[in-house]
Amino acid sequence: MELFTNQVLAGIATGAIYACMALAVVMIYQAIDHLNFAQGEMAMFSTFISWQLMQWGVPYWGAFIITLAFSFVAGIAIERILFKPLAKAPVLTNVAGFIALFAIINSSAGLIWDFTIKQYPTPFGSAPFLGSQLISTHQAGMIGVTVLLLLGLYFFFQYTRIGLAMRAAASVPESARLVGINTSWMIALGWGMATAIGAIAGMLIAPVVFLEPNMMGGVLIYGFAAAVLGGLTSPFGAVVGGFLVGIFENLAGTYIPGVGNELKLPIALALIISVLVVKPAGLFGRHIVKRV
Amino acid sequence: MSAAEEVVAEGHEAVEAVPKRAMTLGTGTSVVVLLLLIAVPLFAKNFVIFQLTQLLYLGLAVLALNILTGGSGQFSLGQSAFYAIGAYVTAVMMEQFNVPYFLCLPVSAVLCFGAGFLFGQPALRLSGVYLALATFALATAMPQLLKLNFLEHWTGGVQGLVVTKPDAPFGLKMSQDMWLYYFTLVVVLAIYILSVNLLRSRSGRAFMAIRDNEIAASAMGINVALYKTLAFGVSAAITGVAGGLSAIAVQFVAPDSFTITLAIQLFLGMVVGGVGWLPGSIVGAAFIIFVPNIAEGISKGLSGAVFGVLLFLVIYLVPHGARQVVVQSEAWIAKIKQK
């Protein structure tokens, strides 16, 4: 039993990483209706920016704020310059665009900062949390930040005019335009916010997985899986999905014989798919009804 | 869940409707392309012939994805898994059981059809991103499954298998590469013609009806579940043949040649060639084979970035892929003829 609780705790700790990423994925999905495959790379690039700032002597929180502002603006710029011209192109062409963006960011980061692994500081310290060996204060801090972000987003979307406008622009663009919402800028704003959230996720994840251009590969896959499991329409679902995926992954690695590190991912994904077969819109997602 | 909570989405289809006549080339153009494909190797070096063979079998794999996505509107990131099954079946039969290579391909096709058809069953309940994730899972699982211990006796585990390259039969004076090229060409052409006919048939129309509107299709009496899984099966079978051809041409199979990267390349090939336009598959295959080399030639350190920029250029200029180029030039030719 102790092994079980320990594994669940460890799962929650890794789950916090996935939850962070899943939240960013859901944000952008809400705004633009696509999964952004380059999201992880964008987060990685932001994290490198903050690392570079700290190398130049900026204190952690200063670098944190500057990186958030930079990511927000960069997200908007990417949308305006690269993806606005593709707004009328088919969905699959947009997906190809994300893959292109992925290649561009990954390769440039590799050239600027090279592929060696770098240490990244944590603001929370890495002592054991409440005497538990499995969760460090950093991981507890990460869970705290994720929950705070979620609450912040909930209030933003539920109680502010601009949040309402963004929701309207995403769900019924035509009607939103008729009541005077600038839907095109709402999409750009969505990109900006998603990039900023991705940056937070990146900066929180970097102390755990270390900083390098390919750090987000695995994380993004789990983040997608978490977002899809929780239901792509629900930020809350994304966070729950993130923790569930983390726990699944750890338990599968411990209890299913013959499952090494290699098979963890396929098994976690297979479990998620079996959940989806029963609940096709994810655990907390809203069912989308199609009009003929 | 209450009805008030439901969201109504309309108008946004994942894959655009391509009329079935627009899916192929005219007779005149087809003959010219065919003559080119037959003549070019006679004047090329062995390495170029090998690349052309690669172009043909990757084009075949893109075509398979095109039938699935462009034809029936289902999205798949798992094509690399079926490609791997096809390649391994062919390689194992050739090397461990000494079966002649041309007999291995049909077996690859049948086994992959089965795998695709079975995988299509749970995939039935999923669509869009959810289906993408499911197929993605298949693609990530496949290299790990191929490395499993109890299969190692046949598959050679992580090391992979070396495949012997076949000689030209009947004492033909032809290099192995050239023989393989013509062999591949015949197989690919046969499958291309079958695919075109499939899409023009009753089943093809059913695929397209499902792609354009699933609810309307089922209201017209189309067995949606059957045709969706059938599309998966057919696509997997063709991908399997492509995989088998690749095993013979590359002379080597290993689990790590069939990762998700391959599935993503096939997807890019489909988009560049034009979703739902079968002849575009070969253009798409050319893109995924040659553009990374060009990018590397421009800048070694930034080859990924250059590739990304080139890809962006292509999708800006022609968001609908090679199909758009052909459709536009046809319109221009018609205009010139009128004057």
CATH number at residue A168: 1.10.3470
Give A-chain residues touching B262 at CB under 8 angstroms: none
User: Which of B129, B308, B319 faces A90 most closely, judged by CB atoms?
Assistant: B319
Is B42's pLDDT higher than 90?
Answer: no
- Report CB contact under 8 Å: A33, B132: no
- For chain B, the residue count is 339
A85 contacts B316? CB cut-off 8 A: yes
| Of the partner residues A107, A221, A270, the one whose CB lies closest to the CB of residue B302 | A107
Q: Please state, in angstroms and rounded to a whole number, the distance separating the CA atoms of residues A4 and A251.
A: 8
The pLDDT value given to residue B58: 92
By residue range, what is the domain housing residue A147? 2-125+132-278
% of chain B exceeding 70 in pLDDT:
92
Distance CA(A162)–CA(A150), nearest Å, equals 17
Instruction: Domain ranges for chain B, please list them.
Output: 20-258
Maximum Cα–Cα distance across chain A: 59
Confidence of residue B39 (pLDDT cuts 50, 70, 90): confident
Task: For B170-229, write each residue's pLDDT tens digit.
Answer: 777 777 888 888 889 999 999 998 998 898 889 888 998 888 888 888 898 888 888 989
State residue A133's pLDDT score: 65
CB atoms within 10 A of CB B322: 21
Closest CB from B10, B122, B137 relative to A266:
B137
Q: Give the Cα separation of B15 and B18 in Å (integer).
A: 9
Question: Would you state the pLDDT for residue A130?
Answer: 66
Q: Which amino acid is residue B45, in one-letter code?
A: K
- Listed residue (A25, A6, A8) closest to A248, CA to CA: A8
* Chain B CA closest to residue A291: B10
CA distances to A145, A247, B42, B204, B247 from B175, in Å:
65, 56, 11, 39, 18
Indicate the pairing of strand B7-9 with strand A128-129.
unpaired
Give the nearest partner residue to B271 out of A88, A96, A104, using CB atoms. Answer: A96
**DSSP at B99:** -
Indicate yes or no: CB of A280 within 8 angstroms of CB of B130: yes
Residue B179: per-residue pLDDT: 85
ipTM of the complex, rounded to two decimals: 0.81
Q: What are phi and psi of A132, to 5 degrees?
A: -90, 135
> Which comes out higher in pLDDT, residue B12 or B246?
B246
What is the number of other CB atoms lying within 10 angstroms of the CB of residue B73?
27
Which is nearest to A244 in space by CA: A51, A74, A16, A25? A16
Structure tokens at A236: 């809350």
Yes or no, beta carbons of A286 and B10 under 8 Å apart:
no
Beta A288-290 vs B7-9: how paired, if at all?
Answer: parallel
pLDDT reading at B115 higher than 60: yes
Q: How far apart are CA B31 and CA B10, in angstroms?
A: 42
Angle subtended at Cα A167 by Cα A238 and Cα A84, rounded to the nearest 5 degrees? 95
Q: In this predicted structure, what is the pLDDT of residue A65?
A: 92
Tokens encoding A213:
């251009």
What backbone torsions phi and psi does residue A118 show, to the nearest 5 degrees?
Answer: -120, 145
Contact A286 B7 (CB under 8 A): yes
Residue predicted with more confidence, A34 or B112: B112
Q: Give DSSP secondary structure letters for B256-314.
A: GGSSHHHHHHHHHHHHHH-TT-TTHHHHHHHHHHHHHHHHHHH-STTHHHHHHHHHHHH
Instruction: Extract the runs of DSSP E, i.e. beta strands, from B98-248.
Output: 161-162
pLDDT at position A258 = 64
Instruction: Say whether A97 and B130 touch across the interface (CB within 8 A).
Output: no
pLDDT of amino acid B8:
38
Q: Which residues of chain A have pLDDT under 70?
A: 129-134, 257-262, 287-292
In this complex, the residue of A88, A101, A269 whose CB is nearest that of residue B308 is A101
Q: Where are the strands (E) in chain B, listed by range?
A: 7-9, 161-162, 252-253
Confidence of residue B328 (pLDDT cuts 50, 70, 90): confident
Q: What's chain B's average pLDDT?
A: 83
What pLDDT sits at residue A170? 80
Q: What are phi and psi of A103, to 5 degrees?
A: -65, -40
**Residue numbers in A near B320 (CB within 8 A):** 89-90, 93
Are residues B267 and A96, on separate chains, in Cβ contact within 8 Å? yes
> B125–A290: do the CB atoms touch at under 8 Å?
no
Domain assignment present for A21 = yes
Which pLDDT value is given to residue A262? 66
* Count of structural domains within chain A: 1
**Residue A286 belongs to a domain:** no
d(CA A183, CA B19): 32
The pLDDT confidence band at residue B10, using thresholds 50, 70 and 90, is very low
Closest chain A residue to B121, measured at CA = A277
pLDDT tens for B280-309 read 888 899 998 888 888 888 887 788 888 888
Distance from CA of B314 to the nearest CA of A (A): 10
